[in-house]
Every structure is written in structure tokens, then in C-alpha cells.
Amino acid sequence: MIVPAILTDKRKEFMRMLNLCGEFAEFVQIDVMDGKFVPSMSISPDDLEGLKSPLRCEAHIMADDPLNWVIPFKDFGAQRIVFHFEIKKDKNEVIRNIRETGLKAGLAVNPNTKIEEFSSFVDKVDSILFMSVVPGFYGASFIPGVLDKIKKFKELYPHKETGIDGGVKLGNIEDVKRAGLSYICVGSAILKAPSPQEAYNSFLEEYNK
């Protein structure tokens, strides 16, 4: 599955991008940044107040305290909260809190994080999201070595849902596809294209070759 990834710090632009994706995609990822865990900022929990998602979505929380986002995204209509392994907060507490709201829990891991470091959490979450860029910016450069980590992970955990996020372009989609992922998040290559729908369709065509 090709999943458009939305990133903005403006509420109006956020809904514009979300509604636009709803015209051609079944599922989107919403990127959230707090300016602390990563240097960039995105929409805030307050920006979600009163809004409802027009399509299925997950929230990728790049923030020191993902718990600030659980209820706002539950009310917004998200199906899954993905938080980072690298946060200092008690990850078991985060997983428990997410599940208590009825949402699925996903774990994101940065490019330099080794499988052995997060292996004890694999069975505690519903999905693993592999970052293929240093997180925090739209349009960052793809790190090819992450694909080797994903292939190793799939050998160890063949049935675990896995995603990749960051730097995926038409030029590397074939290599990404071979890693055997459940879903592929694409941000700027779709949302910053002159026609996001045409860009999305191009990714589908390349993936299905």
C-alpha cells in the first residue's frame, strides 16, 4: 500500500491536504512534530479540535511525549498511533495508554536504531515503522542501508506489519518494494508534486510493475 504522508504546521493547510488525499487514497499518515524530539514543528493537538478525518489514517508522533496526542487523534478518527522507540518516556506506559483508547499502537525506529535494541517491543505493538531518513523534515535524503535492516527484520518477524517512511521516490521504489513491506509512506514526492493524484498513481504503477 502506498500511503501519502501529510506534514504541515497550519490547520487550514492540513485539512486541505487531507481532503485532497481523500480523493485518491484510502489511508494516510499524519506526521506530528513537537520542535523538541525533532527540530521542526507541525500542527498541535489544539489544531485537531473539532476536526474529523475524512479517511482512515494513522498518526506518526515525532514528539517527546506522544501521550499528549492520543486523545486528540482518537477524537479525530485515527486508527493507529505510531510513536518513536527513541523517546525517553516509558514505552510500556505509552503502549498501554494507546490501547486503552481502543487504538492500535505502532513503533517507529530511526535509521541508526538496531533491531536488537527494540526487539523486546515487537510483540507488544501492532506495527513497526522503519525511518529511512533522519526524521524531522519533508524531502530528506533516503538512507539505502535501512533496506538491509528491514530484510533482516522480516526474516526474524515475517508476519509483523511493517512500514517505511522517508525519502521514497519513483527512482528507488523498486528497491523499497523488494524489502517486502506492508506499506510505504510517501510525503513530498506526492504532496509537493504539481498533481498529487498523478504522482500517487505513478507510485502505484511503479509498485505494481
User: What are the C-alpha distances in Å from 8 to residues 56, 104, 156, 180?
Assistant: 18, 24, 36, 29
Please tell me the predicted confidence (pLDDT) of residue 135: 84
Query: Residue 58 forms beta bridges with which residues?
Result: 29, 80
Q: Among the listed ranges 36-45, 123-132, 137-146, 158-167, which one has the minimum average pLDDT value?
A: 137-146
**pLDDT tens digits, one per residue of 92-138:** 999 999 999 999 999 999 999 999 999 999 999 999 999 999 887 66
- Specify whether the CB–CB gap between 98 and 105 falls below 8 A: yes
- Residue-level pLDDT at 138: 61
pLDDT band at 209 (very low <50, low <70, confident <90, very high): confident
Closest-CA residue to 173 (of 195, 147, 139) = 147
Residue found under cell 486508527: 79
Residue 159 — very low, low, confident or very high, per pLDDT cuts 50/70/90? very high
Q: What angle do CA 98, 142, 109 make, to 5 degrees?
A: 25
C-alpha dihedral (7, 59, 11, 47), degrees to nearest 10: -140
Task: Measure the CA–CA gap between 192 and 198, rounded to whole angstroms.
Answer: 12
Show which residues are catalytic: 31, 165
How does the average pLDDT of the chain come out, rounded? 95
Above pLDDT 70, what percent of the chain? 98
Find the mean pLDDT for residues 59-83.
97
CA–CA separation, 167 and 131 (whole Å): 9
Please, what are the domains in the chain?
2-207 (3.20.20.70)
If you average pLDDT over residues 42-62, what whole number do you get? 95
Among 79-83, 131-135, 137-141, 176-180, which stretch is predicted with the lowest mean pLDDT?
Answer: 137-141
pLDDT at 23: 95
pLDDT (mean) for 32-52: 93
Work out the percent of the chain whose per-residue pLDDT is above 90: 93
How do residues 126-154 score in pLDDT, each as one tens digit? 999 999 998 876 667 899 999 999 999 99
